[in-house]
Amino acid sequence: MDRPVLPLLGAPRAERADAVRNRRQLLATAREMLAEQGVDKLTMDALAERACLGKGTVYRRFGTRAGIFQALIEDDERVFQERILSGPPPLGPGAPPLDRLIAYGQARSAFLIEHREIVRAAVDGRQPVPAGTEMVLSRMHIGMLLRQLSLDVADLDVLAIQLTAALEAPLLLYLSAAELIEDAVRTEERTARGWQELIRRVCRP
């Protein structure tokens, strides 16, 4: 008569059905508003009202304004992650780690540029714990590929963080919005080439 121990410690409990529905509803509405009016018209009040829900609900779901954008990105990241875990090489498995690493960086920066508005809005200086899980994906994947390369490096975790930062931060923090908007294509090209060269240099035996 012991209960099925599925909530295996740590998964406190499955999300309630109405909660799931509301989250979907909120994310969908957020995307609509984003498409129609841009990032800064997306206020918590407006979102709640348009989704026909209370403001409290919005906050319980996402915690903070930046949290909404983090959730949106996580959502988009799922399909991106598919391409990495089971898509065709060199992005997916099958190619040599070095090629995958280069391909990953190029795909990732394209992704970040494509979602630049959301991605930047997800950065929140006030939260003590930095941003969201955004970079976890990159850090883990880059870390894994680095491990496969068996480089002679003392602290692979630190290297993974540094490379992740080199890949993502220019688009999050350092390139001016103007550069990204006016000439996204050129920026993407330079970034892609730069990444390739950086990785080649770092990973030389």
Partner DNA sequence: AGCATAACCGGACTTTACCCCGTTTATATT
Partner DNA sequence: AATATAAACGGGGTAAAGTCCGGTTATGCT
- Cα–Cα distances (Å) from 62 to 21, 44, 149, in that order, read 14, 10, 38
- Measure the CA–CA gap between 63 and 190, rounded to whole angstroms: 36
Angle between helices 55-62 and 17-37 (to 10 degrees): 100
8: partner contacted, choices its own copies, DNA, none (Cβ within 5-8 A by kind): none
Distances (CA, A) of 115 to 39, 59, 69, 70, 73: 12, 23, 10, 11, 8
C-beta of 16 vs 78, nearer to DNA = 16
**Which of 16, 78, 201, 204 lies at the binding interface for DNA (CB under 7 A)?**
16
Give the shortest CB-151-to-its own copies separation in angstroms. 8
Of residues 96 and 130, the one with the C-beta less far from DNA: 130
Task: List Cα–Cα distances, 152 to 25, 65, 102, 145, 167, in angstroms.
Answer: 49, 43, 19, 14, 22
Overall residue count recorded for the chain in this entry: 205
Pick out residues in 17-46 that bind its own copies (CB under 8 A).
Answer: 40
* 159: its two tokens: 């290297």
| Smallest distance from DNA to CB 74, Å | 17
CA distance 140 to 148: 12
Q: Which does 191 bind (CB under 5 to 8 A by kind): its own copies, DNA, none?
A: its own copies
Verify binding: residue 178, DNA, rule CB under 7 A.
no
Helical H segments across the chain, by residue range = 17-37, 44-50, 55-62, 65-86, 97-114, 116-121, 134-148, 156-169, 177-182, 184-203
Q: Which of 98, 149, 166, 184 binds its own copies (CB under 8 A)?
A: 166
194 lies in the binding site for its own copies (CB under 8 A): yes
Contact partner at residue 22 from DNA, its own copies, none, CB < 5 to 8 Å by partner kind: DNA
Q: Does 45 bind DNA (CB under 7 A)?
A: yes
81 makes contact with DNA (CB under 7 A): no
Q: Which is nearer to DNA, 2 or 152 (CB)?
A: 2
Q: Measured between alpha carbons, how far is 79 from 179 in angstroms, rounded to an integer?
A: 27
Question: Under the criterion CB under 7 A, does residue 116 sit at the interface with DNA?
Answer: no
Which residues of the shown chain bind its own copies in the complex (CB under 8 A)? 40, 66, 120-126, 128-131, 135, 139, 153-155, 158-159, 161-170, 172-178, 190-191, 193-195, 197-198, 201-202, 204
